[in-house]
Amino acid sequence: MKTIGANYEGGGRCTFTVWAPEKEKMILHLVHPREQQIAMQPDEFGYFQTEVADVDPGTHYFFRPDDEQDYPDPASHFQPEGVHGPSAVVDHGTYAWQDSDWRGLPFKDLVLYELHVGTFTPEGTFEAIIPRLDYLVDTGINALELMPVSQFSGNRNWGYDGVFPYAVQDSYGGPEGLKKLVDACHQRGIAVFLDVVFNHLGPEGNYLGKFGPYFTDQYCTPWGDALNFDHDWSDGVRDYFSNNALHWFEQYHIDGLRLDAIHTIFDIGAISFWDLLHEKKSLLEQQLGRPLYLIAESDLNSAKVVKHPEAGGFGFTAQWLDDFHHALYVLIDESGKDRYADFGRMEQLAKAYTDGFVHSGEWVKFRKRRYGASSAGVAGDRFVVFNMNHDQVGNRVKGERLCLLVDFDRLKVAAAAVLLSPYVPMLFMGEEYADESPFFYFISHSDEALVKAVQEGRKEEFAAFGFDVAPPDPQAEDTFNQSKLRWEVRDKGKHRLIRQWHKELITLRRTHPVLQNVNKSDVHVNTMGQEGFALHRQSADGQQHLVCLFNLSDQEIAYIMPVWAETWEKLLDSTDAQWQEEGAAAGVRLPAQAEAGQPVSLPPVSLTLYRSLARSS
């Protein structure tokens, strides 16, 4: 494996390596604490390298290709002065890790929690998250999924405009801050996932093209030219990004990566980038003695994403299941049909539970073509489901969360629909207590022309949806500040109640044998017209059963209890007094026990969970 960037080896020795296959010369320019210019030596594969014997950690440097001008290191580990400033040497050997006993968690047992470092706390840093970890553990969260933390321009950004994939954002706390957060998480039994972007780079501070053919015009993406994974000189690009994954696993003890929009990565080579990444990840797993996970965001609706490369797959551990979100959301919020016109039938939600992909080869109006393939038979722990994520909230013109779009009863039902599913659940930060702060799109670029282009682009994007208000200015600091969580409300009124509801559901998920079974052949759904559905699940040994009764309508609906058990005992009822907002009127409640074949009336907008009692001998 070719280590690029500044590899500090201790004792003042540091090896500098940069890939620039079409350049004839390369200068290493040390600029602080002393200035020195050193010619680097090329090899046959396009790498320039030099070893310096008296460099200390923190030394600032640039590279200068072909005597043009100084640029930061494409594989910089730290940019203390931002995207246009010098890179800094980092000694990864000095941090005293306290997680030597950490061996990771089984993927199927995770409750993921997506958060944005800059808006999760008032301070917006890695270290400011640490005091909140015990609260998350108490809620039942055991895995953080950090939105991208690679260096971006300014100090306000979602992270998808990163331009230094190996560097940790300076305003978040840099390399030391991230290590402290991961270490603190592991000591509390929390795994850490990191969102990484291997499909494009941001516009400001993107200097990779100054060094080599990182991009190709053979393919076009929403962000311009695609990254070069399969054309001339693509070996260097493939190594750059595949080794980036190892960088996070090794140097920061990250447990898993979520890869952004993998459908915009193009590679027609005999050995694909996904083959390469899977092979390197698997070897590192053996060396580290702990599991390493890869989650895909994919718009392909293809089970190949989670199949092993030997079976023609991409080798991902799991992928986000957008179809589940769309099918559920449109039934929870009628206005959702304006966004997801191809969804809206109860049978689609049933298919999302039993199969996974709702669109599996049917004609899809939105795409104007047949779309997707079946994922029936793919285990539940190969998919991640959610009611919200950064895209679902941030790409609404007002940045509204689900709690502002639906009433309290529907919010409870939506949470139960996700947490009682056979899939790995993910919450978006603040969702567990119904935080009402918006989550807007925000930037802090220094290029005025770029800022104007982003501002106009957002207006045009929302105008296409027919919104009657303009989106907030993404460059304005107030847009960013409004997006910060309102922690002060989490223990008050409905916020406390919905958090307790999430805790109860997570506890059930973690402790009940039926909810531990991710085999989808043990999942069955009976629809009740377009008003509700019964989700049937059973334990792996077939001895225990749960029936989750969902009424998504405003009317009572009848249901006949299944005959899989003589008697059913109620475990959870969203209409119980303990789950009602103060002053809410008492409604119809289901009996504490129900017999097989007994008709029951499901209260409007409710979830009732029954477990089977053992048959008498």
Catalytic residues: 260, 297
* Cα 42 to Cα 21, 65, 443, distances in angstroms: 9, 12, 38
Which runs of consecutive H residues, i.e. helices, occur in 390-447? 390-394, 408-419
* Cα 278 to Cα 246, 308, 316, distances in angstroms: 11, 9, 8
CA distance 35 to 50: 16
Listed residue (163, 81, 111, 171) closest to 427, CA to CA: 111
CA distance 402 to 387: 8
70 CB burial (10 A radius; 0-12, 13-18, 19+): middle
CA distance 347 to 327: 9
Residue pair 398/458 in contact by the 8 Å Cβ criterion? no
User: Following DSSP, what letter does each residue of 470-510 receive, concatenated?
Assistant: PPP-TTSHHHHHHTS--GGGTTSHHHHHHHHHHHHHHHHHH
122 CB burial (10 A radius; 0-12, 13-18, 19+): exposed
Numbers of helices and strands, H then E, in the chain: 13, 30
Sorted by sequence, the CB contacts under 8 Å of residue 561 that are 6+ apart come out as 547, 568, 594, 595, 596, 597, 598, 599, 600, 610
CA distance 319 to 372: 14
CA distance 480 to 157: 8
User: Following DSSP, what letter does each residue of 56-97 receive, concatenated?
Assistant: -TT-EEEEEETTS--B--TT-S--TT-TTS-EE---TTS---
Residue pair 287/223 in contact by the 8 Å Cβ criterion? no
Residue pair 191/110 in contact by the 8 Å Cβ criterion? yes
The answer, yes or no, to whether the previous bond of 33 is cis (omega within 30 of 0) is yes
- How far does CA 281 lie from the centroid of its chain? 19
Query: What's at 200, amino acid-wise?
Result: H
Q: Say what the alpha-carbon torsion angle 292, 297, 301, 305 is, to the nearest 10 degrees.
A: -30
Strands (E), 341-391: 362-364, 369-371, 383-386
377 CB burial (10 A radius; 0-12, 13-18, 19+): exposed
Listed residue (380, 482, 500) closest to 434, CA to CA: 500
- Please tell me the total number of residues recorded for the chain in this structure: 617
CA distance 306 to 378: 9
Structure tokens at 401: 């969360």
Three-class secondary structure of residue 170 per DSSP: helix
CA distance 400 to 431: 12
